[in-house]
């Protein structure tokens, strides 16, 4: 299944200057998603917040393949999220960013369950899954684990309450 809500973009000099490295792929959803060829590149990015603000997209997601290291704990992918347009230099654990990242890696790796490593200051390991969409609908991405329920329906965010269980992230 493809990541049908992501539109491929041509990589520009402005993008490279803003993020500080050359991605191998770029996509636009609500956010700008950059795919890099290595975990190390993602982990050492030093983007220019002012240059990021001049690009399209609300947030900026950088991702690359994970590898079996102590830093990424055998994750399928590694990511970092930047939100200078919202006055957040780097989001420590970006749930909405993984709505872009999970479908991309699930499609690329041919897996419905992946583990993502957010390489921010918190160094979070995030188990995710993907459910096929019903006739005519896109697939759904979800987080597993956590201690709260959260549902996002593109334009609607609703906090349901606290409790042990699964935090669900739905894409229409």
Q: What is the pLDDT of residue 91?
A: 86
Instruction: Pick 107 or 62 by higher pLDDT.
Output: 62
Report the predicted TM-score, pTM, of the whole model to 2 decimal places: 0.72
Residues 108-150 pLDDT 10s? 988 878 888 888 876 666 655 554 444 444 444 444 444 333 3
Among the listed residues 134, 63, 65, 68, the one whose alpha carbon sits nearest the alpha carbon of residue 94:
63
- From residue 74, give the alpha-carbon distance in Å to each of 116, 117, 162, 163: 9, 9, 29, 28
What digits encode the pLDDT tens for the residues 58-98? 999 999 998 765 555 678 899 999 999 999 999 887 778 88
CA–CA distance, 61 with 80 (Å, rounded to integer): 6
Go through 33-55 and write b for each residue having 16 or more CB atoms within 10 A of its CB, e for each that does not: bbbbeebebbbebebebebbeeb
Alpha-carbon span 14 to 20, nearest angstrom = 10
Domains of the chain, first to last: 7-130 (3.10.310.10)
Instruction: Look at 163 and 8; give whichever has higher pLDDT.
Output: 8
More confident residue, 50 or 170: 50
């Amino acid at each position: 299944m493809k990541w049908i809500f992501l539109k491929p973009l041509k990589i520009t000099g402005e993008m490279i200057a803003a993020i500080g490295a050359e991605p191998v792929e770029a996509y636009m959803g609500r956010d700008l998603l950059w795919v890099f060829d290595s975990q190390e590149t993602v982990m050492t990015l030093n983007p220019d917040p002012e240059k990021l603000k001049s690009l399209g997209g609300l947030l900026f997601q950088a991702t690359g393949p994970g590898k079996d290291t102590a830093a990424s704990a055998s994750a399928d992918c590694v990511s970092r999220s930047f939100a200078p347009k919202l006055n957040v230099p780097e989001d420590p654990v970006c749930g909405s960013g993984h709505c872009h990242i999970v479908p991309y890696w699930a499609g690329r790796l041919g897996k419905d369950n992946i583990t993502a490593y957010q390489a921010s200051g918190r160094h979070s390991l995030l188990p995710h899954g993907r459910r096929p969409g019903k006739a005519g609908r896109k697939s759904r991405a979800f987080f597993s684990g956590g201690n709260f329920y959260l549902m996002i329906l593109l334009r609607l965010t609703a906090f349901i309450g606290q409790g042990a269980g699964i935090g669900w992230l739905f894409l229409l």
